[in-house]
């Protein structure tokens, strides 16, 4: 898994690329924590994500919950159709209640 | 009244019987028997003389202790009477005990069975002190004490075939005529010699060479420092326990099948063997680190793409296999993932085998059906995903580990 990040005016965007599985799950959570900690708003761009599983997004899930509890804004955008399907089966989107956008959409 | 000690010399005296108020059914205990009495209010124990008995009352003599109130009279370890004491004859230390309960082995009676009492009385069962005095001469008493010890092991109470032996001065000899076959006796001698040094009770198991009989061996050090041995044939009990477990397993299998609409099935090792014989192995991968999961997915993709599976279906199956493989890392040291293709090439099966201690039958519903967000490292939804993305899931778990078989129809 690779990533790229931009930050400006309290707004960070994280671009993840590759497969989010058990091997990188903690790293994904740490990155979100790091950028969310110093910005008011974080956008996670999933366009480059080709695989997710419960271990890969477990840490992302809990870190997102913590940021939301702190009053921060978090959204996930550009999620591929097949990845969105997996997130739905995992209960990720329903449990978090945040905006998750498909590829080509800004938000859902 | 001249009581008890002189009673044999004065057979016409029946004062002790009259005081029982039981008519002609009462009889003297000749000679009187020393019995242990416990005052149930104070739990103080002492000895008294049992002088007379009837079905509903007994007569006790005690010059040292007052026998008023509720008391327990111990005739033997497994033969006790509970009753209430009243003064029987004014001026004499003679008490009448109204029987409340007679505890005889596992029975509780409200009456004393006189025939049984007389059998017991005439059988030569002696006071504990006498037993110890004449210990060496009393193999039947040894046998009784060994059985008494065994009765403390509740699991063995249903056993019928018990062989009793005694280990004394380096030799094992049977108590009585009934004995096990020579092969079992040889093994018993070996185990008892090994156990003799330990000093405490020992429990071992002996299986005959042909595997058809199983014995529990139980040794107990007796008061005279010899070692009592009970050899118990538990073959039938084990067979019954296996049947019970099999029935329990079938109930779980049926319930899981119904709840998941036939998607999750428990499988025995034998059924698993025949299931996998229906196809041929495409690949096998040993997973020990999370970093190997990506390679697992790559190899599965490489093997299944030529089989005509759609991209969406392939991804879903990869997610399911990946979840199962991740579980072997989360809950143990990893495992082996094997991919089989059915002979008609219409279906593939992934077998994820971990070498953990298996899942307890009662834990399987929670482990497979309950969805939760319990840990930071996982959404706790792994098995839910597996059930969603596979056409059928088989689970086989034993002490040798857990095997999960994920089935995917390629043409769907």
| Domain ranges for chain A | 2-102
Question: Strands A41-52, A73-79: parallel, antiparallel or unpaired by DSSP?
Answer: parallel
Residue B155, both tokens:
């699991």
Give the separation between CA B407 and CA B397, rounded to whole angstroms. 17
Q: CA–CA separation, B195 vs B217, rounded Å?
A: 11
Search chain A and give the residue with CA nearest B296. A21
**Nearest residue of B to residue A19, measured between CA atoms:** B294
Q: Tokens representing A99?
A: 């905006």
Q: What predicted TM-score, i.e. pTM, was given to this entire model?
A: 0.60
Both tokens assigned to B183: 């092969």
Residue B133 has a pLDDT of 40
A23 touches chain B (CB under 8 A): yes
Taking chain B (412 residues) in runs of 10, the rounded mean pLDDT of each run is: 51 80 75 86 88 87 88 82 85 87 69 66 48 50 67 52 84 84 88 75 83 85 79 85 87 88 87 85 95 97 95 95 92 91 94 84 78 51 87 87 92 79
Cβ–Cβ below 8 Å for A58 and B376: yes
> Which residue, among A2, A14, A3, has the nearest Cα to A38 in the 3D structure?
A14
CB contact under 8 Å between A51 and B318, yes or no, is: yes
Q: Which of B322, B375, B380 sits opposite A53 (nearest CB)?
A: B322
Helix-, strand-, coil-residue percentages of chain A, each rounded to 5: 40, 35, 20
Across the interface, of A19, A55, A86, the residue whose CB is closest to B326 is A55
Tokens 């921060």 -> residue: A72
Identify the three-state secondary structure at position B140: helix
pLDDT value at position B136? Answer: 47
Residue A89 to residue B381, Cβ atoms within 8 A: yes
Q: How far apart are CA B205 and CA B218, in angstroms?
A: 9
Map out the domains of chain B with their CATH numbers.
4-125 (2.40.10), 129-233 (3.30.450), 248-409 (3.30.565.10)
Chain B nearest-CA distance from A67, in A, is 15
pLDDT in tens, A61-79: 899 999 999 999 999 999 9
Considering only the beta carbons, identify the residue of A58, A89, A95 that sits closest to B378: A58
What is the chain A residue with the closest CA to B292? Answer: A23
The chain B residue lying nearest A27, using CA atoms, is B377
Contact B326 A26 (CB under 8 A): no
Query: Does the distance separating the beta carbons of A53 and B319 come in below 8 Å?
Result: yes
A88 interface with B at CB cutoff 8 Å: no
Q: Which residues, listed in sequence order, are joined to residue B95 by a DSSP beta bridge?
A: B60, B87
Q: Do B378 and A19 touch (CB under 8 A)?
A: no
Which of A25, A29, A33, A54 best probes binding to B when mutated, by most B CB atoms within 10 angstroms? A54
CATH architecture of the region A2-102: 2-Layer Sandwich (3.30)
Residues in chain A where the model's pLDDT stays below 70: 97-99, 104-108
Query: Which residues in chain A have Cβ-Cβ distances shorter than 8 Å to B313?
Result: none
Residue B223: the pLDDT is 72
A53 in reach of chain B (CB within 8 A) = yes
């Amino acid at each position: 898994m690779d990533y790229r990040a931009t930050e400006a005016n309290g707004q960070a965007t994280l671009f993840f690329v590759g497969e989010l599985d058990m091997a990188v799950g903690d790293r994904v959570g740490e990155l979100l924590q790091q950028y969310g900690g110093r910005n008011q708003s974080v956008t996670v761009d999933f366009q480059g994500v080709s695989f997710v599983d419960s271990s890969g997004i477990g840490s992302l899930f809990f870190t997102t919950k913590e940021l939301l509890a702190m009053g921060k804004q978090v959204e996930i955008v550009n999620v591929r159709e097949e990845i969105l399907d997996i997130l739905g089966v995992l209960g990720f989107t329903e449990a978090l209640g945040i905006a998750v956008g498909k590829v080509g959409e800004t938000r859902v | 009244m001249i009581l008890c000690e002189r009673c044999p010399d004065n057979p016409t005296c029946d004062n002790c019987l009259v005081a029982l108020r039981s008519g002609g059914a009462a009889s003297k205990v000749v000679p009187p028997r020393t019995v242990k009495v416990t005052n149930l209010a104070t739990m103080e124990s002492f000895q008294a003389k049992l002088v007379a008995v009837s079905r509903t009352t007994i007569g006790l003599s005690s010059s040292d202790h007052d026998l008023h109130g509720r008391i327990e009279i111990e005739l033997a370890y497994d033969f006790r009477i509970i009753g209430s004491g009243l003064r029987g004859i004014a001026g004499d230390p003679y008490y009448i005990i109204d029987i409340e309960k007679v505890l005889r082995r596992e029975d509780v009676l409200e009456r004393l069975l006189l025939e049984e009492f007389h059998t017991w009385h005439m059988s030569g069962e002696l006071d504990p002190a006498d037993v110890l005095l004449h210990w060496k001469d009393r193999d039947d008493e040894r046998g009784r004490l060994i059985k008494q010890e065994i009765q403390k092991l509740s699991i063995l109470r249903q056993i019928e075939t018990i062989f009793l032996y005694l280990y004394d001065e380096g030799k094992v000899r049977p108590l009585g005529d009934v004995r096990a076959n020579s092969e079992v006796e040889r093994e018993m001698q070996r185990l008892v010699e090994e156990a003799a040094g330990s000093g405490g009770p020992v429990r071992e198991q002996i299986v005959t060479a042909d595997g058809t009989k199983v014995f529990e061996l139980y040794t107990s050090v007796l008061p005279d420092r010899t070692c009592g041995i009970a050899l118990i044939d538990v073959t039938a009990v084990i067979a019954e326990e296996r049947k019970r477990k099999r029935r329990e397993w079938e109930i779980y299998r049926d319930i899981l099948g119904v709840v998941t609409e036939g998607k999750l099935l428990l499988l025995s090792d034998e059924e698993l063997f025949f299931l996998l014989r229906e196809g041929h192995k495409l690949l096998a991968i040993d997973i020990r680190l999370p970093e190997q999961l990506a390679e697992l997915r790559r190899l599965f993709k490489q093997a299944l793409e030529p089989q005509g599976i759609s991209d969406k279906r392939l991804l879903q199956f990869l997610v399911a296999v990946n979840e199962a493989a991740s579980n072997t890392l989360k809950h143990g040291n990893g495992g082996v993932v094997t991919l089989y293709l059915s002979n008609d090439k219409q279906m593939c099966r992934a077998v994820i085998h971990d070498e953990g201690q298996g899942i307890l039958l009662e834990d399987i519903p929670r482990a497979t059906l309950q969805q939760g967000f319990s840990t930071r490292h996982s959404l706790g939804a792994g098995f839910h995903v597996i059930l969603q993305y596979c056409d059928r899931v088989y689970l086989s778990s034993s002490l040798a580990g857990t095997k999960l078989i994920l089935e995917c129809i390629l043409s769907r």
